[in-house]
Structure 1
Amino acid sequence: MAHNERAGNAAELNQKDFSWFFWFTLPLYPYSRRRTLRKEVIKDTIWTFDQLQGIFYVVVPIRMTVVKLDEGGLLIYAPVAPTPECIRLLNELVAEHGDVKYIILPTISGLEHKVFVGPFARYFPNAQVFVAPNQWSFPLNLPPTWLGLPRKRTHILPEDSSKTPFADEFDYAILGAIELGPGKFAEVAFFHKRSRTLLVTDSVVSVPEDPPAIVQLDPYPLLFHAKDKTSDIVADNVTNRRKGWQRISLFALYFQPSVLQVPGWGEVFRNAAKASDRSKKSYFGLFPFKWKDDWKRSFNALRGDGRLFVAPILQTLILNRAPRETIEWANKVASWDFQWIIPCHFDSPIKAEPYQFRQAFSFLEKQPSVSAGLFNNSNYALPEENFKLLREIDKGLSKLGIVPPQQDKI
């Protein structure tokens, strides 16, 4: 594996290189200013392009993967914002390996992926766009072309992966569409045969102990969440960056883990008046977080030894609506002989075997599958106490009839 990283030098690049004009279509931090970090993960074969997104400085990577085709040219999995910097870094690969031939939208519900595909495709007018079936949008279910996808060169991925022009190099498996009431969830996992690499969108993640490189380009969000109280002045060092990242990971994946207390707004406003920084950048001193002393224990349980797991929100609100379909999909993916996994979020690339991927879905089973290499499901499960808020959300949505009830484990 190669690990060369490439990003523009901030001192040399004009701010316009980071600009994303259509940020208002998905108003997430860092809004109109997005840096891009390119990494070669398999020499002359696979590259990742990381950007950043988040709310209230809870920032995580969002990732595009670029694969060199044997016949020449490039395949793009899950495009990111086509900023001038991003397109420049990609065109460096185009100059060496050939034009972008295929652009893949591997999800139907992930707006943070879908919103970039149309603008991205306009930079590569010869590329064919392939999208997961059963696309939808909210609040209005608009045709794909109304969402910016090019009319004449957008195609639905067929169930049979052998029917695509890139079938010799890729296999794929479609999960979905899982009914969620207002819409559906689906994901398409791609397997690049030659490099033995699996590309996934949201289905599995692994959390690194230290903040990813893209997060460290601007450490302010890390230091913001490293505070214990709003009046703290946090030094920029490795320890505090790691502390901020680990808390961000807990917040992003659980919303409110058991080790996070949310003080009342009266206390929040009183503390804001004492803040060392009450600028707009610091949200005027508002800091509605109070971490328990043993918060690190929850992060260690989440990370494990760098294991793969299904994000808690998918476990609690989505995949438990279709356990049988999900397990069948996981079994198909685990039948491929991959040794690397590249998700669209958190850590990447991940050294992993097929049984480890399959193991991540054991929460859907009453008894873990021996064929999947599972022998102690309880030791693998994430701590139940951190699911409290998500369970309450699930219960409330089900009671109101907004989402269908979860199904029994299989």
Structure 2
Amino acid sequence: MPDGALTAVVDDTIWTLDRPVWFSGVRMRARTTVVRLEDGSLLLHTPAPPTDALAEQLRALGPVRWLLVPNCWHHLGTPAAAARFPEARVVGPASALDRNKALRIDVDIHDARFGELVPELEALPLRGVPFWDETVLYHRPTQTLLGADIVLCACAKDHWTLRYAARLTGFYERVRVPPDARKKIPDRTAAARSIRAMLERPAQRLIVGHAEVIEEGWRDGLARAWRLEGVEV
């Protein structure tokens, strides 16, 4: 994908940017999602380290006001994005601070104040999986769920290293819970309540960090993936 190329998902409201990252010996696509809020400002979900080209595209869309860290792993690009967009407020879980000393959090994602500041977004925390401490967002105007690691799915577009790993661990062309978290769900009852809350939202699509945008059949895919890990939803 060309450097800094944004792809429209919902016209004039949601765009995505995929970039390659190496993780545990495989090259994955990591996604930043850009949401234009009703006041015209932008929220960057899982910010990428902004190149000049990306910063120019973003400023053409609107002022960047929010940088969102969705869990305690998707934080690496946020310090650079915060330096590029100093007027933006950083939202995320306090648990991410232990993993990145360069990170700052202005609003804790578990604080009800975030919903008051950005009322078009509903925060849906994934309970029972402290390994991630993830919060999924429901964007009401576009009926879109925004996640990070709750599921993943590799396909022919991915690097051969990821395709190989995905075939071995069951997520090639199949929506699954990531392999590194499958044994790290200490409270399946709490996780089930959280996933059910997501399934109940009238969403048209699910956008996550490491898969194509999931539209048709997203509910079945999400529910099936978690049932395979013993989470009864």
TM-score, normalization: structure 2? 0.86
Equivalent in 102, 115, 120 of residue 66 of structure 2: 102
CA RMSD of aligned residues (A): 2.7
Provide the C-alpha distance between the structure 2 equivalents of 1:148 and 1:133, rounded to a whole number of angstroms.
10
Matched, 1:310 2:177: yes
Q: Deviation string for 1:209-243 (max 9, x for gaps)?
A: x215xxxxxxxxx5xxxxxxxxxxxxxxxxxxxxx
**Aligned mate of 2:197, from 319, 332, 340:** 332
Shift of 1:87: 2.0
Answering whether residue 9 of structure 2 is matched by residue 58 of structure 1, we say: no
Q: Does 1:147 align with 2:102?
A: yes
> Counting helix residues as a fraction of each chain, which structure ranks higher?
1
The aligned runs of 1:40-51 (5 Å cut-off) are 40-51=8-19
Is residue 164 of structure 2 the alignment partner of residue 250 of structure 1?
Answer: yes
Give 1:206's aligned residue. Answer: 153
The secondary structure found in structure 2 opposite 1:328 is helix
Instruction: Specify which of 141, 163, 180 is matched with residue 194 of structure 1.
Output: 141
Alignment of 1:324-363 (within 5 A): 324-363=189-228
Q: State the SS of the aligned residue for 1:106.
A: coil
Q: How many residues align?
A: 233
SS at match of 1:186: coil
Answer whether contact 1:53 1:61 (CA < 8 A) is retained: yes
From the superposition, tell whether residues 313 and 250 of structure 1 become closer, same or farther in structure 2 (CA, over 3 Å).
farther
Q: CA deviation at 1:350?
A: 4.0
What amino acid sits opposite 2:145 in the alignment?
L
The code of the aligned residue for 1:40 comes to A
Please list the CA deviations of residues 291-332 of structure 1 after superposition, one character each: whole Å capped at 9, or x if unmatched: xxxxxxx8xx644xx44221222213x22x221221121111
State the shift of 1:335 in Å. 1.4
Say yes or no: does 1:156 pair with 2:156.
no
State the shift of 1:55 in Å.
5.5
Asked if 2 retains the 8 angstrom alpha-carbon contact of 1:48 and 1:63, the reply is: yes
Q: Deviations over 1:92-145 (max 9, x none)?
A: xx32x420111111111x1xx21211110121122111112433425xxxxx7x
- Whether the aligned pair in 2 keeps the contact of 1:101 and 1:126 (CA below 8 Å) is yes
**2:27 corresponds to 1:75:** no
1:161 and 1:332 map into 2 onto residues whose CA distance is 20
CA–CA distance in structure 1, aligned partners of residues 194 and 24 of structure 2: 34
Identity %: 20
2:13 partner letter = T
- Retained in 2: the 8 A contact 1:341–1:352? no
Structure 2: state its 5+ residue gaps. Answer: none
Distance across 2 between alignment mates of 1:161 and 1:362: 33
* TM superposition shift of 1:357: 2.0
- Paired position in structure 1 for 2:118: 166
Of 55, 80, 86, 1:125 maps to 86
**SS of the residue 2:95 aligns to:** coil
Q: Which has the larger radius of gyration?
A: 1
**CA deviation after TM superposition for structure 1 residue 39, in Å:** 0.8
Question: Which whole-Å CA distance do the structure 1 matches of 2:181 and 2:157 have between them?
Answer: 23
Contact preservation (8 Å) 2:128, 2:191: no
**2:93 maps to amino acid:** A
- Which secondary structure state, in structure 2, belongs to the residue aligned with residue 341 of structure 1? strand
Matches of 1:117 and 1:358, distance apart in 2? 30
Deviation at 1:206, TM superposition (A): 2.4
- The 5-angstrom pairing of residues 394-405 of structure 1 reads none
Give the letter for the 1:165 counterpart: L
- With over 3 angstroms needed to count, the CA separation of the structure-2 counterparts of 1:120 and 1:177, relative to structure 1, is farther
CA 1:351–1:85 in structure 2 vs 1: closer, same or farther (change >3 Å)? farther
Alignment of 1:81-100 (within 5 A): 81-90=49-58, 94-95=59-60, 97-100=61-64
Deviation of 1:196 (Å): 1.2
